Amino acid sequence: MLSDAERKLVNDLYEIQALKFGEFRLKSGVLSPFYVDLRGIIAHPPILQAVALRILDILRPLRLDRIAGIPYAGLPIATAVALAGNLPMLYARKEVKDHGTRRAIEGTFTPGEVVVLIDDVITDGASKFEAAAPFLEAGLVVKDFVIFLDREQGGADRLREKGYALHSALRISAVLAHLRDAGRLTPEQFGRCMDFIAAVRF
C-alpha cells in the first residue's frame, strides 16, 4: 500500500513521463512493456525534492558516514538527499582524468568509513556491483544500497547473495497497481506489465 504522499509522487512521475508504457528495449536487450526514466526529474525541483525526502527517510536508521550517488541518474538524487539531510557526499568518476588530482573518488573520506550508495532504479543489480568497486578499492565500506524504485526482477536477490542490503522507496508492483486504480493504466496494460515482471528475472 502506498501512502498519500507516495501516490501523489507516482502521479507526478507519470505526468512528467518518468514512467512510460509501450515497448522499450532494456540494457540487457530484453523488451519491456514499461520503462522508468528518472533523469528528467532534475527539471522538476518539487519532484526531485520529494524523491530525496523519501530516500532520506530510508537512510535514517542506517549506519553511515557518507552517501554516494551512482552516475548518472543517482547523482542529482544523492545531491538533493545530501542537502536535505546535511549529509556528506562522495561520487566516483566514470573516467579518471590523467591530469590534476587524478582522483577516482571526489569528496573527502577516510578509509574504513561506511558509504551508502544511492541510485534511481534497480533491475538486475549488475551495475550496482560495478558502482561499488571504486569505493571498496579506496578502502570504504559498502553495505547498503538505497534505490528509489525496485523493478522487482532479481536485483535485490543478487545484491543479497553478495552480502549487500537493498532498501527501496517504491516497488514497481505497487506503482503499477496505483496507476491502474487511478485509471492511468488499463487492466490489459497492468496485466502485461505484471506478467513481464513475473516472467523475466535477471
The predicted-structure confidence for 18-65, as pLDDT tens digits, reads as follows 999 999 998 778 899 999 999 999 999 999 999 999 999 999 999 999
**Which amino acid is it at 30?**
V
Q: How sure is the predictor about 97, in pLDDT bands with cuts at 50, 70 and 90?
A: low
At 97, which CATH number? 3.40.50.2020
| Structural domain for 136, as ranges | 4-199
Grid cell locating 156: 535485490
The predicted-structure confidence for 168-195, as pLDDT tens digits, reads as follows 999 999 999 999 999 999 999 999 999 9
Structural domains in the chain (count): 1
Q: Tell me how far CA of residue 15 lies from CA of 19, 21, 91, in angstroms.
A: 8, 12, 30
Q: What is the DSSP string of 4-60?
A: HHHHHHHHHHHHTTSEEEEEEE-TTS-EEEEEE--GGGGG-HHHHHHHHHHHHHHHT
* Model pLDDT, residue 135: 97
Q: How sure is the predictor about 99, in pLDDT bands with cuts at 50, 70 and 90?
A: very low
* Model pLDDT, residue 94: 73
Strand partners, 20: 35
* Model pLDDT, residue 100: 47
* Model pLDDT, residue 27: 79
